[in-house]
């Protein structure tokens, strides 16, 4: 059979929902999905993520035939920041990927009319009121989507401005600082951390293989929670030296063991490579660009990197909304799409878990984010999200989470226990998801 005949009968692959094949070169780029695939007219700027294959260098996302400023995250993921003016009116947009003369299949982005029904939080409000004071003395809850606050209420002994210790909910914001230094080339995630100490501390040979990636994903083998973490009179440097002298629990990189010591060492590395104190570094990289007013590690030279911060719901929401927007806040890029994508990717898959408070519910982990197990989500009361869902719970019950499928963030702020935060989270999640589904 002649080549032209073969091409005429080449199989067409039809993608479900909004993605369909128009024409594709055998060697050209291929789109398998886009996220989001549906947005509301008149909404704010957002990051479009295009997934597929053969996204080589110089591949660009096209919007109705016009090229976009594109970031290549990997060979199977591209991103582009979509400005608000592009989605001012409803309609269908053709999304393609072009590499030289090769054009991908077409994915359709649907811009729907802005929802008229609005959000009805009556059931959620009633549920929260039923929890105070019987379950907790007070609580605050904030829900946001597309950089818009949808729900913000407090009850009991708390107000919307209440600032509380957030314990381990500190980890994800701290991770943002570390990854910003990676982007600047000051730190290599897989470079031995001893490279950066410059003789300032004595780092033993048995810890020579420890990397920054291990430190921020609890796979370093360093001790769980060194006493110096709670010593406000010492320094990050002296605390890191103390941790360096404690025997390893296991060979670096071989297991996952949740704790705080490893991130403390990472914080000291950040101080060494920048010449700045951690509090000043956080202010420069995160707090000031996002306009945070109350988030603080407190005034100390030994801030607890993995669990010493305080926050209100508004500041933490700003951090999560920046994450959901692909690293952008108020038109300013805080973190690259590549770093955001890495924080969405489980860093401990296949690694034995020596000590994990996530159990069978939160089975993945990445730079401060826990990843909800998909089977666990599927077993929750309906209506329910299919995920991915990321969270960063704290010991006093602070429960922040983001739903990548529904595109919203939420933070429950209480002063109690982790288990109480989880209990409330499970009760209110279906009520929130129901409203998100109705207003997609």
Q: Where are the alpha helices (DSSP H) in 283-336?
A: 288-290, 313-324
pLDDT digits (tens, 9 = 90+) for 41-92: 887 778 888 888 889 888 999 999 999 999 988 888 898 989 888 998 999 9
Q: Measured in whole angstroms, how far is the alpha carbon of residue 353 from the centre of its chain?
A: 22
CA dihedral 12, 15, 18, 23 (to 10 degrees): -30
Q: How many CB atoms lie within 10 A of CB 406?
A: 20
Token pair 């993605």: residue: 19
Please enumerate in sequence order all residues whose Cβ is within 8 A of that of 396, keeping only pairs 6 or more positions apart, or say none.
Answer: 164, 165, 166, 167, 414, 415, 416, 417, 418
According to CATH, the superfamily of the domain at 122-169+294-438 is DD-peptidase/beta-lactamase superfamily (3.40.710.10)
DSSP state of 360: T
CATH architecture, range 3-112: Sandwich (2.60)
What pLDDT is attached to residue 100?
85
What pLDDT is attached to residue 303?
98
Domain borders along the chain are 3-112, 122-169+294-438, 187-290
Strand pairing class (256-257; 353-355) = parallel
pLDDT digits (tens, 9 = 90+) for 369-407: 999 999 999 988 888 898 999 999 999 999 999 999 999
What pLDDT is attached to residue 43?
75
Q: How far apart are CA 267 and CA 279, in angstroms?
A: 10
CA distances to 187, 361, 374, 384, 426 from 379, rounded to whole Å, are 41, 11, 9, 9, 11
What pLDDT is attached to residue 117?
58
């Amino acid at each position: 059979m002649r080549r032209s005949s073969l091409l005429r009968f080449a199989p067409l692959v039809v993608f479900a929902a909004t993605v369909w094949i128009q024409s594709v070169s055998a060697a050209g780029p291929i789109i398998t999905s886009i996220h989001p695939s549906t947005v509301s007219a008149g909404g704010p700027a957002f990051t479009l993520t295009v997934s597929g294959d053969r996204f080589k260098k110089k591949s660009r996302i096209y919007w109705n035939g016009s090229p976009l400023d594109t970031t290549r995250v990997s060979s199977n993921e591209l991103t582009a920041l979509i400005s608000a003016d592009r989605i001012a009116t409803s309609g269908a947009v053709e999304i393609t990927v072009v590499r030289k003369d090769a054009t991908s299949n077409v994915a359709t982005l649907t811009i729907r009319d802005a929802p008229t029904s609005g959000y009805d939080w009556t059931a959620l409000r009633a549920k929260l009121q039923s929890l105070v004071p019987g379950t907790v003395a007070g609580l605050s809850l904030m829900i946001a989507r597309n950089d818009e606050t949808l729900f913000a209420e407090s009850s009991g002994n708390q107000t919307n401005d209440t600032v509380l210790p957030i314990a381990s909910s500190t980890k994800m914001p701290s991770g943002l600082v570390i990854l910003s230094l990676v982007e600047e080339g000051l730190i290599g995630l897989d470079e031995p951390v001893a490279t950066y100490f410059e003789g300032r501390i004595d780092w033993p040979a048995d810890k020579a293989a420890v990397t920054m990636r291990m430190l921020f994903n609890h796979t370093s083998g360093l001790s769980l929670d060194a006493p110096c973490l709670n010593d406000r009179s010492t320094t990050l440097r002296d605390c890191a030296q103390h941790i360096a002298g404690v025997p390893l629990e296991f060979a670096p990189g071989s297991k996952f063991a949740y704790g705080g010591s490893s991130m403390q060492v990472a914080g000291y590395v950040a101080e060494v490579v920048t010449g700045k104190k951690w509090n000043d570094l956080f202010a420069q990289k995160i707090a000031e660009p996002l306009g945070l007013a109350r988030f603080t590690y407190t005034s100390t030279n030994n801030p607890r990197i993995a669990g010493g911060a305080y926050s209100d719901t508004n500041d933490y929401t700003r951090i999560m909304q920046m994450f959901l927007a692909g690293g952008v806040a108020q038109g300013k890029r805080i973190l690259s799409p590549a770093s955001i994508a890495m924080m969405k990717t489980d860093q401990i898959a296949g690694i034995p878990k020596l000590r994990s408070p996530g159990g069978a519910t939160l089975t993945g982990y990445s730079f401060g984010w826990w990843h909800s197990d998909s089977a666990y989500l599927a077993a929750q009361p309906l209506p329910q999200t299919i995920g991915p869902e990321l969270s960063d719970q704290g010991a006093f019950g602070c429960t922040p989470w983001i739903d990548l499928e529904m595109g919203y963030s939420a933070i429950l702020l209480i002063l109690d226990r982790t288990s109480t935060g989880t209990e409330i989270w499970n009760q209110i999640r279906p009520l929130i998801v129901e409203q998100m589904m109705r207003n997609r």
